[in-house]
Amino acid sequence: MRINTITINNFQSYYGEQLIEFSDGLNLIIGNGGTGKSKLFNAFYWVLFGEIYITSEGWCKTDTLFLSSHKALHNYEFINKKALSETPVDGKIICSVVLDITDDKDNNYIIERQASTIRQPKQEWDTKDSWSQPISSLKVTRDITTGTKSEVGFLAESIIADLFPKEIRDYIWFQGESLEELIDFRNKENLRYAVQHISYYPYYEKMSEIINEAKIKISKDEVKKLSSLNAKNAEAKSLISKIKILQERIQIEEENKKKISSNIETIKLSLTDDESKMEGMAGFAKLVTDYDECEKEVIRLNNKLTELDNEQRKLLPSLWILRGTDQMIEESKRLVKSHVEEEATLPEKKYIDEPSRAKLEQILYKDHQCFVCGSPVDDEHKKAVDWILNRIKAQEKYYQELDDYRNNLEQSKMFNMFVGKIQDYPDYLLRSVKNIDRHYQEIEDEIDKLIRLRKREHDKKAELDKK
């Protein structure tokens, strides 16, 4: 077996398409730690068998990576991370490995394994729900007498099984971590297994085929010799005749065996075709199930949106109408405070009720002099007369204010009782308005979230429709 080339595209640490060529004889891959040697090894094993090696887990199938690796890796994490991060939403990324080999009979084989995934509508690319499940596909193109022929699926795997028998895979591809266990020949079972499966494995098969063919040829020659030597021996002739009959029967059975083998191959092809159809039916059934789940989720989201819409319709006239009334409430608070401060003061007593109105009129119209200092108050002393007249007018105004206050005192008491009750309302309403804003925003955010989820489900349904 000779490896000619391997082409790696977006597989593990290999970004983009990378071609590696090999020469006849021994090829060494040398590099520091973390430069991709193990990943190259994984590329060989993946293209042939669909598996990669994880140090803590061993061999894991990439088609079921999240399950087979005990959740060590997500389903998409065997694909190159840089290529994943550069893929836009709804974009498709292809990961592939192509191996060109030639067997001992100079027959050429092109083995290609490919997996693709689509980025889902998520904000971050490196999350478990951001990518569709990547399922690998296998194709083998080989040389035949009439040219080249390509096989896929089960038939391609059969060709690889013939080229690399399962029993010897551990010895042709292995990680350093498993080498010590393989070559521990102090364990008798390891030694027996190694001798049985690696010692000239293909040559043993060919030798067995040669021996079987030679055995038939030798038997025929021996029968001819016995016939000539025992031409006159009746008993020997009878035995030789039986041998010939048995040999003819063997030949007939060999022909039947070939026909049966041919029929088995035909049945295998038919079975493969039917299995492909069954897989298609199973895939369609899963698509239908996924589509139904999408529809149910859309219905659930619509019902939730309807509930929130109804809640908004109820809250808008009864509570949310107060949104934006902060300034009005502050103004009402100021007015209430101003009224309370004004009502807390009685009409100012200006001490203008002494001397009394009667005494002032006596000074002005009768005595014409001040009863305290004896100063004259008459037409010649106009300033004194004006002062007394203004004093009388001020007394009239004061008494009028006092009468008005006393007349309105009962009504003021009742109104002030009401004011006392509503004094704390502005502060309470201001706190409530803040809570209203928060509640309103919470419901708006929930509606936006549900609308985004519904759009994602609609996109998913559209994708399922295409499939």
Task: Write down the domain spans for the chain.
Answer: 1-164, 316-466
Token pair 């061999």 in the structure block, residue: 59
Buried/exposed 56-84: b ≥16 CB within 10 Å, e otherwise: eeebbebeebbebbeeebbbbbbbbeebb
Least confident of 20-24, 229-233, 307-311: 229-233
Mean pLDDT (whole number) for 49-61: 82
Average pLDDT value for the chain? 79
For residue 343, is pLDDT > 70?
A: no
Q: 4 near 100, Cβ under 8 Å?
A: yes
Per-residue pLDDT, 126: 83
Least confident of 166-170, 183-187, 215-219: 183-187
Q: Residue 254 corresponds to which amino acid?
A: E
Tokens (6 digits) for 324 = 């934006």
For residues 9 and 399, which has the higher predicted lDDT (pLDDT)?
A: 9
Residues in the chain: 467
Output the CA torsion 43→48→54→58 (10° steps): -160
Residue 187 has pLDDT above 70, yes or no: no
In the chain, % of residues over pLDDT 90: 17
Q: What percent of the chain has pLDDT over 70?
A: 76
Position with higher pLDDT, 187 vs 356: 356
Selected residue with higher pLDDT from 168 and 149: 149
Residue 117 has pLDDT above 50, yes or no: yes
* Position 100 confidence tier, pLDDT thresholds 50, 70, 90: very high
Q: Which two tokens stand for residue 242?
A: 């039986």
Q: How far is CA 334 from CA 144, 302, 324, 394, 428, in A?
A: 100, 47, 18, 33, 15
- Residue 327's pLDDT is what? 79
In this structure, which CATH number among 3.40.50.1000, 3.30.70.1350, 3.10.620.30, 3.40.50.300 belongs to the domain 1-164?
A: 3.40.50.300
The strand pair at 108-118 and 137-144 is best described as antiparallel
Cis omega (within 30 of 0) for bond into 165: no
In this prediction, residue 317 has a pLDDT band, given cuts at 50, 70 and 90, of confident
Considering only 47-56, 129-138, 221-230, 286-295, which range has the smallest mean pLDDT?
221-230
Residue corresponding to tokens 């904000």: 123
CA dihedral 420, 409, 332, 313 (to 10 degrees): 70
Residue 93, pLDDT > 60, answer yes
Residue 200 pLDDT? 45
Burial category of 193 from C-beta neighbours within 10 Å (exposed 0-12, middle 13-18, buried 19 and up): middle
Please give the full DSSP string across 155-200, using - where no structure is assigned. Answer: HHHHHHHHHS-GGGHHHHS--HHHHHHHT-TTSHHHHHHHHHHHTT
pLDDT at residue 369 is higher than 90 = no
Averaged pLDDT for residues 248-260: 84
Q: Contact at 8 Å (CB) between 151 and 140?
A: yes
pLDDT at 358 over 90: no
pLDDT of the residue at 170: 67
Cβ neighbours of residue 198 closer than 8 Å, sequence gap 6 or more: 168, 171
pTM for the model stands at: 0.43
What is the spatial distance between Cα 465 and Cα 467, in angstroms, rounded to a whole number?
A: 5
